Amino acid sequence: MSIKERVVFLDRAVFTTDDLPIPSFDHNWSEFPTTDAADLVPRLFWATTAITHSCPLDADSIGQLHKLTRVVVTGPAVIDDKACDARGIVVRKLPASDAPGPALISLLESLVRAA
C-alpha cells in the first residue's frame, strides 16, 4: 500500500497562470497564492512535498517539518540545503522549460516514483 502524498504549493500565484496537469500518483494537493513567513510551518506541517517559487525554507522551519521528504524549487527561493540534507529531504530545482506546468508535474512524478 502506498502512502498518499501531500503536496503543498506555497506561492502558486508567482509561478504561472497556466493550469497544472493532475499528478498521476495518489495525493492531496493544496496551493496558496502567497505564503507569509508565519504561515510557512502550519501550511507544510503535514506535507510530504513542498513546492516553492520564492518562499525561503530555513533550518528552523525545516526542523519542524517531520513529514517533508522533498522540496521542488520553481524560482529564486533560498533553501537551507544543509538542513535538508541532514534530514534526508531531497531538493530539486525545476529546469527552465517552455511548458513549466507540465515540467513541474513530470518532475514531481519522477521524485515520487524514486522514493
- pLDDT tens-place string over residues 53-105: 999 999 999 999 999 999 999 999 999 999 999 999 999 999 988 899 999 99
30: β partners: 8
Q: What does pTM read for this prediction? A: 0.95
Mean pLDDT, residues 17-28:
91
pLDDT band at 6 (very low <50, low <70, confident <90, very high): very high
Mean pLDDT, residues 43-60:
97
Residue 46: pLDDT over 70: yes
3-state secondary structure of 28: strand
CA distances from 19 to 12, 31, 78 (A): 11, 12, 25
Residue 18: pLDDT over 90: no
